Structure 1
Amino acid sequence: MNIDLNIYRLVWDRFKSWSKLKALRSRAAMLIREVILENFMSYEYARVPLKPGLNIVVGPNGSGKSAFLQAICVALGETYTERSKRLSDLIRWGEKRARVSLLLDNSVREDGRRPIQQFDSDVIRISRTLRRDGRYSFHINQRGAQKQEVVEILRRLGFDPENMLIIMHQNMAEIFAALSPQERLRRLEEAVGFQSFRADVTEARRRLSGILSEEESLNQLLERSRETLNYWREQYERLQEKKRLQTRLNFLQREMAWSRVSELEEAIRRLEGEAESAVEALKRCEEDQERYNLQIRESEQRLKELRGMQAELIEKRVTYERDLGVYRYAIMELRDRIAEIDSMMKSLGERKKGLEENFKELRGRLKAGATLEDYFKLFEEVERKEAEAHESWIHGLRGRREEAGKQLASLEERLIEAEGKAAAALDGLRRIEALMDEASSLYIEARIQAALLKERMEGLRRRLEYLRGEVEKASKSLKEAEAEALIRGARIETGRSSDEVMNEIRRVGGMLMAMADIREEAEAMYESYSKTYKELLEKAQRVRESRVKVMEEVEERVKKWRDVTRGLVEEVNQRFQSLLSRLQARGEVRLTNEMDIEEAGIDIYVGFKGGEVRPLDPYTQSGGERTTAVMAFLLSLQQKILSPFRAVDEFDLHMDPRNREVVTEFLFSTLEGSSDQYLVITPSQLFLKGGNSHIILVHKSEGSSKISLVTGDEGEGCEV
């Protein structure tokens, strides 16, 4: 595959840029000469010089070791710290402000140039002041500065305080172990200065995206141009059709004019015929109207007679009904009286029977006494007189009952007779009502028909008047239509109706309206758009070629990124495995998903003391194994990291003494012969064999952190 020379040139420029960064690192040598802390966390005031090589900060827990590293990062622009999310919380208790100052080495190097050439001085003082209200400010050489200016200076030196591979704060080994492989790779690229290769790929993909967007736009434009070209071709082809349709339209308009004359003549004949029919219908309606009026008069007379007969029958029925009521009431009274007499007769019979029984019983009781004969005579007399009175009452009651029975029979006969007369009157009323209903129906029907005829006659008169008006208007329109038709030409006898002709006119007119935008220059426009379309095709071809080249460039840049990243990981893996072997461990740094730059990452595998090699994560390894693996990875990177200043807080966290000693020795060997500056913090005891170390002792006295120094040969072979 042929690759554009520009690709090689771009890659070569990237290598030269990286070489410049390496050269800048060699010129930078020591980065920080001295750190000055004022009212920062547990520090009231301290000046701490730093030396090239290894700077070891030791002291008991809580003495202020981590605060020292934190102060350096805050001064270099770090916003978030693991100790506090608010910078104002880092101010010493009881104070209103705090300040951290860094003295950076900017002396002339062997090549005769300063690391930061914009400052013509051997020392650059960067200060950051924190206030209780949350505000902060930067100063460079006692001059106010923006944070971006400080960040830019650090960027030139290859330093990034936010990258944990350069500054690893306390407990960040756990965080690093939990990072995704993709994030680890990005942190590694930023630390060694390889992010430009990823940026190149991103930039090439951005350009490819732009070219793809342009190609898509061109394709859309080509599609629109093709549609426009086809449109003008169609316009030209339809121009001749338009002329033919115009000729046809002229003939149809002439045919339509004479067809209109024929239709008007026919319409006049039809209207005159309808007017004659209306006159005849009106005459018939007048005859029917007279007949219905006669029927109405006869019905009214018949109804009058029937109403008289109905009134007489109603009066008779009322009389009969009244008699019926009287008879029924009298019968009811007589029946009540008979019932009362029967009741009295029954009561007298029972009374007589009771007296007889009483006298009989009394007589029986008095028989025993012979002296009571006179009483018996008296009782017999009383009994005789009582019987006579009873018989007299019974005879009177029977007479009264017989009289009431005769009256009852007479009333019942008269009641039956009255009921017959009432029924006859009711039947007569029903016959009269039937006759009245029949007469009413005839009357109503005659009235309705008369009203309908009246309405119809009025409609016929209006219709007749309308038809005469229409004949007059049609005659006038006929004269005008004949005049217009003569203008269009001689009379044409057509077998079609005007609607049929009009439909064709509308169809032809619609076709002509669709061609209204056709212009005579359609042929010229077609040739012009044909030329433009050809030019667009050529441009689209050039864009496609550019897309192919940029795709090849993207592929080449991805390949270059893959090559340099693979080489870096392989070199780091060799050093990592070498260090692990000294720690009685095995492991590997592996580049994963290297074919996809977005999904590519770094997996770290470790196994200690013959154990199974497993991925580094926050859960599998113990705390000491995890810290040892992370430190081994960091130390494997040191020769590749661009920043001349690096720091690790509690690098030996949870390590056993043997691993701590090996890691420390490897740290010394890594920095041997290097002018880089490395800061390590530990609360543990270390046995130092090398002489290129600068020991900073931190202790706390009366709530304030204090600094003591052990420099150069003083620290050789000593235990701290």
Structure 2
Amino acid sequence: MRIDRIRLSNFKCYADADVSLDAGVTVIHGLNGSGKSSLLEACFFALYGATPLDRTLEEIVTIGAEEAEVDLWFTHAGASFHLHRRVRNTGDRATTADCTLETPDDVVEGARDVRDYVVDLLRMDADAFVNCAYVRQGEVNKLINATPQERQDMIDDLLQLGKLEEYRQRARKARRGVTAVHDAQQERLDTVAEQVAEYEERDLHAELNALQTELADVESDIENFEENREQAQQTKEDAERVIEQYADKRGELDDLKETITDLKEAIAETEREREALAETVTKARERVDELDERVAELLVETDIDADPDAVDVEAVRERRSAVAEERDDVQDEHGDCRTTIQSHASDAESKREQATTYEERAEEARERADELDAEAREAAEKVAEADERIEGVEAKLDAKREAFADAPVAVGEAEAHRESLRETLADVRERESEIRADLQTARASVEEAEELREAGKCPECGQPVEDSPHVDALEERRAEVEALEADLEAVREEKADVEERLERATALVDAESDVERLESRKQDLAELREGHAEAAESKRAEAEAKREEASEYEEQAAEALDAAEEAAERADEARERLGELNARISTLKGRIETLDALADALADRESAANDLEHARERRADLESTNDERRERLAEVRERKRELESEFDEGRLESAREEKSRAEDYLEKVTAKLEELDEKRSELRGKIGAVENDIETLEELRERRDAVQERVDALEDLVAEAEELEAMYGDLRGELRQRNVEKLERLLNETFDLVYGNDSYARLELDGQYELTVYQKDGETLDPDQLSGGERALFNLSLRCAVYRLLAEGIEGSAPLPPLILDEPTVFLDSGHVSRLVDLVESMRDLGVEQILVVSHDDELVGAADDLLHVEKDATSNRSHVSAGVEAEAAATLD
């Protein structure tokens, strides 16, 4: 992974910053408190958010600002990504207003989804990044100062081994949970079995038959009483029908009286409305006359030659459109004229600015030519420096190759030789194990035979000695034991010899690895020297080109000034024409206003005429409506007289008596039916309860069988959970041992680069990540016994080794993330700083594409591929970043 660019807006002490980063070693320098660490924190915040920084979102936003934005562009495994975060702080609490990640295939939105995507992409969460790739200020000794248990947990978590322990704990919880469920299901099975026994003691089917017989008798009585009730109900309904008919006639009479009253009132109301409409007709006629006069007056002010009564609204609007079109044409010309003025004036100003720009570029080109000359000389000096470093690497190569002078193999064959010895050792150990097992069996057989013989039995078949043909077999077994003991001794001597040869082969593999690394380093230095040589020649040629470029810019500046004068003259001519067009536009606007007023008056006159006609038609309609109402009034009066002659009071009284008798019987039979219905409901409830008990019994039997199956399955599941728990524990131990072996190798490679010529020989890392330092004389040291500077450098070596292990994994490799070191020289003297420089360069040689270092140390600054200088303005208290020549100049001043 490589960080390509970081852009900040109102992030902590940065109001606005945009920084590009290249591959190689970049040193960020500046005074303490200038904001160097904040620049790295911005990169980390973009990837993982504010929580891993132990900060709140409020602390991210610059004091006094409402929003902060961070954009990060980075490349990973050959693909490009763009990450954007925006934080708002306008209320009581700051929030993430926007968080998006543009990938080559999609756009990820939302802080949580973006964080999960980054963790999967980098194979590191925030804690892993901080504990491994990001050595924060003041935490350089974090790993070495930790207790063995803390270091073990930290590295296990980095390498995802903590997940296996988590899975083991989950398996244990699952086992306990399944056991608890099994016990609960067993209790449930016992309970269900007891319930089944209780229900089976009752004869539920016999009880059901008795209740069904009693229910049939009750339902027969109910059927007889319901038939009698239906006859009484029919009698009651016939009487009610007669009473209702007389009531309907009485109601119709009342309705007719009300209708007569309503018709009289409606006729009177309509007559009043006709009188009001007569007044409306008069007012509408007067409005039409007024508008006729207004139209005549406006026609005089226009150039339309027509009779006021014959003039048409559409003709006026057409004339208005023609005048408006003429005005639009003039306005278009007016706009074109203004555009021409602005264009010529802008052109004149632009040409003047171009002339100034060309003059500035000419000056910059001459200054750049001088800078390039200086850079060419500096590149030539780096060529000489690279030659010296190549000679040093060649000397180291010769020393490493001497290890193969008396070796049984040549350089390049050591690994295969060691693997062959490992296979041989494995075969020897297997034979040793087989002989040891045979010897143990033979000894046991001899002991058993001796016991049988002492008991007077045959040692071969166990029969009495006098009856057995195998009495002499004991001596043969003893001879077999002696032969196996001799074989075991011989194979142990062979194993010791192979182990010794394997140890020498391992030393040759290490030497061979050093040769390969130094040869790669020599090739890198040769390529670096060639690059510096090409740069020196390129800088000289570029300086000459810059001087020629400056001459061309001076000629272009003179041409731009002549063009500016010509454009200014054209702008003055266009301003005269603009005044003429303004006068014409004013005249046309007056004509348009008069035509609009005329069109409005004509439209109003037409509307008033329509109102007059509508009022006349409405008055005629109301007169016709009243005539119809008078005819309806006469019809209603005639129907009222017919109904008054149809009433029979005797028939009405007889119907009332029959209704009363029927209601008395219905009241009594209803009470009886309610009593029977209640008894029927009670019997049905009892029958339902018995049927439910029968269904419950069947369900309990089925449930008992199902619970029994569940209990059996849970017993198998408990056994599987126990096996899974043991498997996770064994797997974690195996993977940790593999990690320890690889981490020890990586740590010694890094440690050898830093202390290869010192008094320290190697490091040893046990299964609990306990560290031991071996001196050249074989004595051991605890890392705490190192000096402060050595301890810090030792810890950096450990961090770098863990970093490589985490990035590469147990097998295979992955794109390495940037290695970030924030003020790593705090505890180092000048000698240890030189070794830190070597360590940084070695990490680059081992494949770390990008290394970011925050430091103001001159030696680190001098060894950097790129420099960034951070400076804080004392007035605004805001930081800004400079790069290139400006950063190098600032580093020299610091």
The bucket for the TM-score relative to the shorter chain is: 0.3 to 0.5
Question: If each structure's helix is expressed as a fraction of its own residues, which one has the higher value?
Answer: 2
Q: What TM-score, normalized by structure 2, do the two folds share? A: 0.36
State which structure, 1 or 2, has the greater radius of gyration over its C-alpha atoms.
1
